[in-house]
Amino acid sequence: MTACADPGGSVGAFLCQAGQVLRGAGADNPRGEARALLAHAMGCAPDALLRDPRAPVPAEAAAAFGDLLRRRLAAEPMAHLLGRQGFWTLDLGVSPATLIPRPDSESLVEMALAEAPDPARVLDLGTGTGALLLAVLAECPAAWGVGTDRVAAAVALAAANAAANGLAGRAAFVCADWAAPLAGRFDLILCNPPYIESADLPGLMPEVARFEPASALDGGADGLDAYRAVCAALPALLSPGGVAVLELGAGQRQAVEAIAIKAGLRPIGARPDLGGHDRALGLRLA
């Protein structure tokens, strides 16, 4: 890593050496991560580094890159290091206050658009970065939505993401415990709740266990606490003909469907994620 921080090195040398270090640490895409981190340190697009591999890396950028590399080797997520994460068609700011949006969660957007292609009012419970709500609003130009989150820093981040993606005029964010302060009904309700069993949290991969908020992961002893709270609130929030789409943890479909039915809801099927696992569960009023 010392060699990678040599201010006299070229772009190509930095990428080669950092890629080797990251590969040795077990990174899935060491060369890509090295390129993304160096581009971030130099304030340019990753592709720009490929145009002139012999270009020198300025001393200030070299120091910043060395710091980013050390943090990455300590398992800090790439999204935190870059401050950004792509989701659906959006570029979202991220922070340690929220979960990092994941590609598997795009299954919820796909199901939402299939079941409610033209919603007027959208609600996102536990919005985090605002990813689910903003992705739907980006596809539905006549829709307006609300996102709630109990973490004030998450609410501020989601609002900033709405503004950065040109959606601030159609999105509002409220600091609240699920739907506690809300009145009225919504055509589409989205929710990615905490669903990891409490005892399993220490065993999560270091990127998650050490750097993402436990409050957004911990679903209680059986992983289902948030589903019970959300499903109990949904009948008073869904409009007639409306649909709710909840993210599922691995193997949780049957248990969550039972909770939903008990709350007066009707499961309408599930949509798989990229790995073929049930990820998005659709619900309507019974």
CATH code at position 167: 3.40.50.150
Please give, one letter per residue, the 3-state secondary structure of the chain.
CCHHHCCCCEHHHHHHHHHHHHHHCCCCCHHHHHHHHHHHHHCCCHHHHHCCCCCECCHHHHHHHHHHHHHHHCCCCHHHHHCEEEECCEEEECCCCCCCCCHHHHHHHHHHHHHCCCCCEEEEECCCCCHHHHHHHHHCCCCEEEEEECCHHHHHHHHHHHHHCCCHHHEEEEECCCCCCCCCCEEEEEECCCCECHHHHHHCCHHHHCCCCHHHCECCCCCCHHHHHHHHHHHHCEEEEEEEEEECCCCCHHHHHHHHHHCCEEEEEEEECCCCCEEEEEEEEC
Give the pLDDT confidence score for residue 9 in this predicted structure. Answer: 83
Same domain, 55 and 15: yes
Residue 80 lies in a domain: no
Nearest-10 Cα torsion for 262, 264, 267, 272 = -70
Please give, one letter per residue, the 3-state secondary structure of 190-202.
EECCCCECHHHHH
Residue 7 lies in a domain: yes
Same domain, 63 and 199: no
Same domain, 94 and 214: yes
Task: Count structural domains, the chain.
Answer: 2
Same domain, 48 and 181: no
Question: 187-210 pLDDT, tens per residue?
Answer: 999 999 999 999 999 999 999 999
Give the pLDDT confidence score for residue 5 in this predicted structure. Answer: 44
Distance CA 91, CA 131 (A): 9
CB 169 within 8 A of CB 196: no
Question: 29-83 pLDDT, tens per residue?
Answer: 999 999 999 999 999 999 899 888 889 999 999 999 999 999 999 999 999 999 9
Give the pLDDT confidence score for residue 4 in this predicted structure. Answer: 45
Same domain, 223 and 262: yes
Residue 167 lies in a domain: yes
Give the pLDDT confidence score for residue 269 in this predicted structure. Answer: 97
- Helices 11-24 & 59-73 angle (0-180, nearest 10): 10
Domain edge (last residue) among 55, 74, 93: 74
Residue 180 lies in a domain: yes
Same domain, 135 and 276: yes
Residue 9 lies in a domain: yes
CATH code at position 27: 1.10.8
Same domain, 59 and 150: no
Give the pLDDT confidence score for residue 2 in this predicted structure. Answer: 41
Distance CA 149, CA 159 (A): 11
Same domain, 23 and 56: yes
Residue 34: domain span: 3-74
Rounded to two decimals, the pTM is: 0.92
Same domain, 158 and 275: yes
Torsion angles phi and psi, residue 189, rounded to 5: -125, 130
Residue 79 lies in a domain: no
Across the 286 residues of the chain, what is the mean pLDDT of every consecutive 10-residue run?
Answer: 52 92 91 95 91 90 95 95 96 96 97 97 98 98 97 97 97 93 93 97 93 95 97 96 96 97 98 94 97
